[in-house]
Structure 1
């Protein structure tokens, strides 16, 4: 009889964590997630991407359940293609926060993720998408960013590093919004108090699961609240130093199947049995 599973909920970030740089999921990672599912564990995507940018990946993963999107601002039901819950960033507050940041650091380039299952990513002149595979609509004037409800604002600066911009933004906006850094070239403003942890907690409650049953994987400072919430936080070797500093464990990089390495260790006893022997995942 197989031993009880250590974790019933596997929370994974996508970019820089579960996905490789080309937005694909390796066969080894698929096998490891399937092994965990056989053991009864649930896999929950917890990502900064808005729901419309996650839907194709969930389809590829065969995910029909919940996903935490937009840095925790959206709880998305993939099977029903609907929002279970979402919170928007007040557009007047966002515009004010942007002005305060520019008063401190000079001109920044901005983009927004609109709310909703069909929300667009709008980018103003000068803003370059850090992830070129994600679709975006270029607008002519900043005022056009505020045309529809938004879940977050994305910022880039022509000279400052991400860490410098995030630090300056936090000092400038105070309690107007939460500032996160979710990837290279991705500093974001989101509703105050909303984090990946708040979204993860809501999703876990829907699933009847607790922090003590959760293992989380990530690579950037926006994953810190998720690590604080979960029983065990695993940083990728390519992770930001701030996340590594609070992680319980550091695994291999996203390119080297770091998540699979950990899941194989935890769930190996649940590997499919072939000719009386456990089928071991291929190591490359």
Structure 2
């Protein structure tokens, strides 16, 4: 696809739905929501435009981060495995316990080899379950998971009969994408692995992604792709682009994401999302 610069868009556009990834997209270099976001959100609310954060982060984390909003917000969380509309969860997707047991085995074997520094997060609807307790691991997980439950053995989580398991997340303190190619070839349909950052890989239902979350919200809101704008920077964001006329890859985006987008936006460190939205809505 031939990308155009964001400044080439005629303004204003009839936008009703805006969906933005978080890390590397909306958030600044310190992984914080830019101060200018809040007055922009008020402006969008006044115009009847729905803004939706779309993230691999936990639903509880997103609710905490956006608690300042005066109106109930919609979210695409856990890379599309949870979709919430106006503060109410309307869709969830899960993975099987057989997959969880298989991946625990992969991580245990890799850790025993001494060649990898990995940690597994079992992402449930109620909490994120972890076995590693060292400070670097917990600190990194806490950026994305507000509700973490530490267990002595991740196998014990398989006995939580009432829990819904949404996805698995592997933290690699090295190169997560390279690790996944070596360790995860056994992850096949109906599941897949998706790099969601330099140090993170998600394993989830292959039929679910952030793009499906966008489509779910479009149906619920009665919004078309021509009335939708989406923003992203990493591989797990690319599926959203098929559901929006206005698809933006950040200037700092992964090369494949830049190739898939219709437009290039300024980098997250340059408040790219806010600047483009300003132009879109006039």
The normalised TM-score by structure 1 is: 0.80
Residues 1:83 and 2:97 are matched in the alignment? no
Residues 1:70 and 2:84 are matched in the alignment? no
- 2:225 maps to 211
- Label 1:178 to 1:126 Cα distance change in 2 as closer, same or farther (>3 A): farther
- 1:110 maps to 120
CA distance in 1, matches of 2:109, 2:156: 21
1:68-99 CA deviation, whole Å, 9 max, x = no partner?
111111112454xx422212111212322554
- Label 1:60 to 1:23 Cα distance change in 2 as closer, same or farther (>3 A): farther
- 2:154 maps to 142
- 1:29 maps to 37
- 2:63 maps to 55
- 2:23 maps to 15
CA contact (8 A) 2:76 2:84 kept: yes
CA contact (8 A) 1:5 1:39 kept: no
CA contact (8 A) 1:8 1:214 kept: yes
Residue 4 of structure 1: how far off its partner (Å): 6.3
- Label 1:8 to 1:210 Cα distance change in 2 as closer, same or farther (>3 A): same
CA distance in 2, matches of 1:255, 1:37: 25
CA distance in 1, matches of 2:165, 2:29: 27
Partner secondary structure for residue 27 of structure 1: coil
CA distance in 2, matches of 1:21, 1:4: 29
CA distance in 1, matches of 2:184, 2:212: 19
CA distance in 2, matches of 1:234, 1:37: 21
Residue 173 of structure 1: how far off its partner (Å): 0.7
CA contact (8 A) 2:12 2:281 kept: no
Which is worse superposed, 94-103 or 55-64?
Answer: 94-103
Structure 2: unaligned runs, 5 residues or longer: 1-10
The normalised TM-score by structure 2 is: 0.81
| 1:1-284 matches, cutoff 5 A | 5-79=13-87, 82-99=88-105, 108-115=118-125, 119-125=126-132, 128-129=137-138, 130-133=140-143, 134-135=145-146, 136-146=148-158, 147=160, 148-157=163-172, 159=174, 161-168=175-182, 171-268=185-282
Partner secondary structure for residue 43 of structure 1: strand
1:231-255 CA deviation, whole Å, 9 max, x = no partner?
2211222222221121222222223
- Label 1:22 to 1:72 Cα distance change in 2 as closer, same or farther (>3 A): same
Partner secondary structure for residue 206 of structure 2: coil
Which is worse superposed, 255-264 or 161-170?
Answer: 161-170
1:8-46 CA deviation, whole Å, 9 max, x = no partner?
210111222212244432232333343344443221222
CA distance in 2, matches of 1:245, 1:162: 21
CA contact (8 A) 2:12 2:279 kept: no
CA contact (8 A) 1:101 1:172 kept: no
